């Protein structure tokens, strides 16, 4: 983690939500409006952008492209994209990207669609992304149904709307010949949803050390800015022993279940900080053969989460030590060494936070103000977890439209005036990379040494 990193947000202003997306801030997990101070250079950049005729025309073009962009949304939504099976949708997204002007765009080794729109030079590189994958398995009915002015389909808002917004931005920037100073790396990535473990973003940041910041598009109310990425590690733990008759073998063999019980008791006593919020639980247990058998096997699943990597890794260390200690005690109790344990990491999402006084958060806040929106800082587990864990400025914002029902078959989007959100988020992006003849880039180029 970046050495100068420190939390600047009171825990009360953040709600750590699940991986479904920050749009849940619309519901019972709503977070309070958060005052973010905006430094003069940020204010100036957005004042210049909003006053420039070229940008006014660009924003008009976003509005004018609204109906066409819904065709992209329809096309992509109706191509299934279960975790690890994003390829068909990736190819369709790549074809659209190429048709709209990024002729060098490619699918990388992990399955991400990556296209670079070059700036005029010497500016920062900003990753702008939406994820290709949905939570829905192969065979799910992804045909769009229209009802009460809403479009219903699994994955339509999380995150296919984000993909369509990226394509719309690409089209209008090219049509209006807007030249940014920094480079825009357009990405439709794989592996955001649970078992994907952020594999798409992990690959991108490993292969693109030139990235200076990230703005991800996810379903979220206009004004929401995600700044917190809760990290999680999950383990499957398996205890194995010889087993034996509960009467006949008594005294000669250790019990896998007793050993696991000793481990769980020690895990239950571990203390974690309340801020940054750090949690753990043994979520499931299983094992044993019958009531009159000394158990030859036992297994449990453990979930560990934190809003920062340090406390996560410390808690993980203590849990792994507790597991070994439980096994050692059980063996010692019977004077044997025949109980063993294996641990398997089944979930690995890094995390972190983007400070509320960083330029990227101030930029989003100022752009929201320009669109008459109050800024809400929020948290969730998203693609932004990866850059946050690397100390690279990252936020997730909405792309317009009212959305709901994420991860359910009844997922929907209401696209009434959705172009307003697409304008707002595009302006956020433009301030960060700068526009030739209008405003200087706000996002700093990371020092070469920081780029591995």
> Please, what's the largest Cα pairwise distance for the chain?
88
In angstroms, what is the minimal distance from the CB of 320 to Zn ion? 31
Q: Which stretch binds Zn ion (CB under 5 A): 92-100, 199-207, 208-216, 218-226?
A: 218-226
Closer to Zn ion by Cβ: residue 163 or 364: 163
Closer to Zn ion by Cβ: residue 86 or 159: 159
Q: Which stretch binds Zn ion (CB under 5 A): 113-121, 155-163, 316-324, 364-372?
A: 155-163
Does 21 help bind Zn ion (rule: CB under 5 A)?
A: yes
Does 65 help bind Zn ion (rule: CB under 5 A)?
A: no
Of 202, 224, 213, whose CA–CA distance to 377 is shortest? 224
Let me know: does 15 contact 29? Beta carbons within 8 Å: yes
Let me know: does 183 contact 116? Beta carbons within 8 Å: yes
Closer to Zn ion by Cβ: residue 110 or 218: 218
Q: CA-to-CA distance for 52 and 450, rounded, in angstroms?
A: 35
In angstroms, what is the minimal distance from the CB of 380 to Zn ion? 9
In angstroms, what is the minimal distance from the CB of 147 to Zn ion? 23
Q: Which stretch binds Zn ion (CB under 5 A): 67-75, 153-161, 354-362, 436-444?
A: 153-161
Closer to Zn ion by Cβ: residue 188 or 254: 188
Closer to Zn ion by Cβ: residue 21 or 326: 21
The residue from 65, 72, 80, 158 that contacts Zn ion (CB under 5 A) is 158
Closer to Zn ion by Cβ: residue 158 or 362: 158
Find the Cα–Cα–Cα–Cα dihedral 20, 21, 24, 30, rounded to 10°: 130
| Pairing, β 224-229 against β 376-380 | parallel
Does 330 help bind Zn ion (rule: CB under 5 A)?
A: no
Closer to Zn ion by Cβ: residue 159 or 307: 159
208-212's contacts with Cβ under 8 Å and 24+ in sequence apart are 208/125, 208/127, 209/451, 209/452, 210/125, 210/183, 210/451, 211/125, 211/126, 211/127, 211/185, 211/387, 211/392, 212/124, 212/125, 212/126, 212/182, 212/392, 212/393, 212/443, 212/444, 212/445, 212/446
Does 411 help bind Zn ion (rule: CB under 5 A)?
A: no
Q: How many residues interact with Zn ion (rule CB under 5 A)?
A: 4
Does 159 help bind Zn ion (rule: CB under 5 A)?
A: yes
For residue 205 the two structure tokens come to: 């940041």
Tell me which residues touch Zn ion (CB under 5 A).
21, 158-159, 218
């Amino acid at each position: 983690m970046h050495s100068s990193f420190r939390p600047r947000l009171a825990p009360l202003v953040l709600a750590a939500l699940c991986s479904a997306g920050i749009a849940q801030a619309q519901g019972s997990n709503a977070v309070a409006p958060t005052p973010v101070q905006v430094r003069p250079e940020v204010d100036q950049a957005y004042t210049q952008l909003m006053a420039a005729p070229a940008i006014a025309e660009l924003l008009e073009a976003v509005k004018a492209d609204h109906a066409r962009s819904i065709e992209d949304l329809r096309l992509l939504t109706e191509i299934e994209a279960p975790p690890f099976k994003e390829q068909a949708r990736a190819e369709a997204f790549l074809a659209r990207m190429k048709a709209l002007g990024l002729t060098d765009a490619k699918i990388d080794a992990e399955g991400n669609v990556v296209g670079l729109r070059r700036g005029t030079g010497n500016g920062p590189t900003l990753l702008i992304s939406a994820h290709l994958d949905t939570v829905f398995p192969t065979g799910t009915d992804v045909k769009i149904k229209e009802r009460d002015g809403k479009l219903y389909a699994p994955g339509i808002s999380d995150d296919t709307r984000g993909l369509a917004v990226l394509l719309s931005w690409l089209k209008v920037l090219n049509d209006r010949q807007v030249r940014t100073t920094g480079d825009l790396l357009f990405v439709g990535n794989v592996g955001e949803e649970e078992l994907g473990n952020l594999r798409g973003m992990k690959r991108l940041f490993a292969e693109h050390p030139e990235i200076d910041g990230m703005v991800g598009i996810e379903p979220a109310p206009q004004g929401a800015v995600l700044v917190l990425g809760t990290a999680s590690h999950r383990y499957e733990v398996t205890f194995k022993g010889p087993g034996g008759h509960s009467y006949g073998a008594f005294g000669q063999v250790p019990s896998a279940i007793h050993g696991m019980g000793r481990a769980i008791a020690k895990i239950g006593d571990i203390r974690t900080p309340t801020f940054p919020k750090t949690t753990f639980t043994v979520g499931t247990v299983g094992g044993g053969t019958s009531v009159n058998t000394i158990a030859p096997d036992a297994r449990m699943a453990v979930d560990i989460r934190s809003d920062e990597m340090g406390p996560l890794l410390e808690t993980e260390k203590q849990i792994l030590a507790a597991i070994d200690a439980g096994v050692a005690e059980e063996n010692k109790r019977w004077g044997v060494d025949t109980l063993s344990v294996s641990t398997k990491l089944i979930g690995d999402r890094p995390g972190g936070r983007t400070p509320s006084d960083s330029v990227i958060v101030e930029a989003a806040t100022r752009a929201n103000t320009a669109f008459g929106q109050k800024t809400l800082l929020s948290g969730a587990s998203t693609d932004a977890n990866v850059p946050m864990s690397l100390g690279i400025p990252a936020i997730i914002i909405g792309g317009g439209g009212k959305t709901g029902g994420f991860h359910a078959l009844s997922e929907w989007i209401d696209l009434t005036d959705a172009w307003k959100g697409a304008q707002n988020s595009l302006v956020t992006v433009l301030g960060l990379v700068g526009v030739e003849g209008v405003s200087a880039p706000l996002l700093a180029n990371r020092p070469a040494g920081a780029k591995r």
